[in-house]
Amino acid sequence: MAKLQKIGILTSGGDAPGMNAAVRAVARKALDEGIEVVGIVGGYAGLIQDEIIDFTPRSVSNIIARGGTMLYSNRCLEFKTEEGMQTAIATCKKHGIEAIVACGGDGTFRGATDLTNRGIPTVGIPCTIDNDITATDYTIGFDSAMNTTLGMLDCLRDTCESHARCNVVEVMGRDCGQIALYTAIAAGAVAAIVPELPFDEKELIERIGKLSKEGKRSFLVVISEGVFTPDGKKYGEVLTPKIEKETGVETRFARFAHIVRGGAPSLRDRYTATRMGIKAVELLLEGKSNLVVCEIDGKIEALDINYSQVADRYFKKTLKPGNMESLTPAQQQAVKDLADKRYAELCEMYEMVKVTSK
Ligand code: F6P
């Protein structure tokens, strides 16, 4: 097998603190191995628009502490068309890009598979604040986003305590309740409401009323953005006036939204990004591709992207015909076991909020 000569790095999808640290690690490791490195600007769109920059070790100086992504990011629809894909492949050929490391979430990994299938070996690094890639215990950006969320919840707690108020807070996470659950536990919230688990509105309202009468002054209710009423309204906005009306506790609504995607990455994110970036280059050097780098029980490992995506769809109940059948019987069992494990993790956190918020 001829030695790899040149790789490209891109960041795609929603940005996440720590993406820069991943770019830096990939670039420095590859250059250290004598491989040329280019940055692909603006995610997969950079391959279509031919926006490629040569990297030296200094190209990634001083980015480890910065949020966002120096390579910029977007969600590129054109890349999903066969024409766009062919343009992307032509750009790779023009620049001699033999392999790609793609940093992002599930949409990014679908693009990685498309590239691998067309002859450009690609390895994915999971970067998303949502921590919603089922195959890996951890995605880069999750810790930083949670800490930013937690800091803001702590601020709200101060003012709620002063004014004897409740604050309903909608936090990010798309369809995944992990940011809501972890931050609710850490902020001492009275409830966490997440898309994956049933929620008893009557019980919460009665509890807030009772605790208020007993002298509790501040209440935080953390809701994941993926929770909607049956008629499609954002549940946090609907719940807020109900709490006030039925308990007499003045209640406000806040949405933290994209603020938590910015800011300096935490140590956890910089460290994990560095480990994963090095691993991605090692995999390509070993001639492996169509893999996603995962953290499993503290170890950095690599899993097949198709397996990872089927695991995601199985857990999120979005399987398409043939998805499960594309896996071996052993992989199918592993997907089911993993989904059970993830569900049990969520239930455990949910219980923790309940037990500690009485
Ligand atoms: O996937 C990361 C994420 O920030 C989600 O938490 C959120 O639902 C979504 O991206 C927002 O997407 P956009 O940046 O396109 O508004």
State the Cα torsion 11-14-17-23 to the nearest 10°. Answer: 0
Tens place of pLDDT per residue across the chain (358 aa)? 678 999 999 999 999 999 999 999 999 999 999 999 999 999 999 999 999 999 999 999 999 999 999 999 988 888 889 999 999 999 999 999 999 999 999 899 999 999 999 999 999 999 999 999 999 999 999 999 999 999 999 999 999 999 999 999 999 999 999 999 999 999 999 999 999 999 999 999 999 999 999 999 999 999 999 999 999 999 999 999 999 999 999 999 999 999 999 999 999 999 999 999 999 999 999 999 999 999 999 999 999 999 999 999 999 999 999 999 999 999 999 999 999 999 999 999 999 999 998 7
Q: Is 141 in the pocket of ligand 1 (CB under 6 A)?
A: no
CA atoms within 13 A on the CB side of 167: 25
Residue owning tokens 């001492």: 188
- Bridge partners (DSSP) listed for residue 52: 40
CA atoms within 13 A on the CB side of 358: 5
Measuring from atom 10 of ligand 1, which residue has the nearest CA? 14
The three-state (H, E, C) secondary structure of 271-287, written as one string: HHHHHHHHHHHHHHHCC
Residues 6+ apart with CB under 8 A from 170: 223, 224, 225, 234, 236, 237, 253, 254, 255, 256, 257
Measuring from atom 8 of ligand 1, which residue has the nearest CA? 174
Phi then psi dihedrals of residue 265, to 5 deg: -70, 145
Q: Catalytic residue positions?
A: 130
Task: Dump strand ranges (E) for 209-343.
Answer: 219-224, 251-255, 291-296, 299-304
- Bridge partners (DSSP) listed for residue 251: 166
Under DSSP, the state recorded for 265 is P
Q: Are strands 219-224 and 166-171 parallel, antiparallel or unpaired?
A: parallel
Report the pLDDT value the prediction gives residue 357, as an integer from 0 to 100: 87
Q: How far apart are CA 285 and CA 339, in angstroms?
A: 32
The CA 74 to ligand 1 mean position distance, Å, reads 11
Measuring from atom 4 of ligand 1, which residue has the nearest CA? 14
Q: How far apart are CA 134 and CA 196, in angstroms?
A: 13
Report the pLDDT value the prediction gives residue 355, as an integer from 0 to 100: 92
The CA 128 to ligand 1 mean position distance, Å, reads 9
The CA 300 to ligand 1 mean position distance, Å, reads 26
Q: How far apart are CA 54 and CA 13, in angstroms?
A: 22
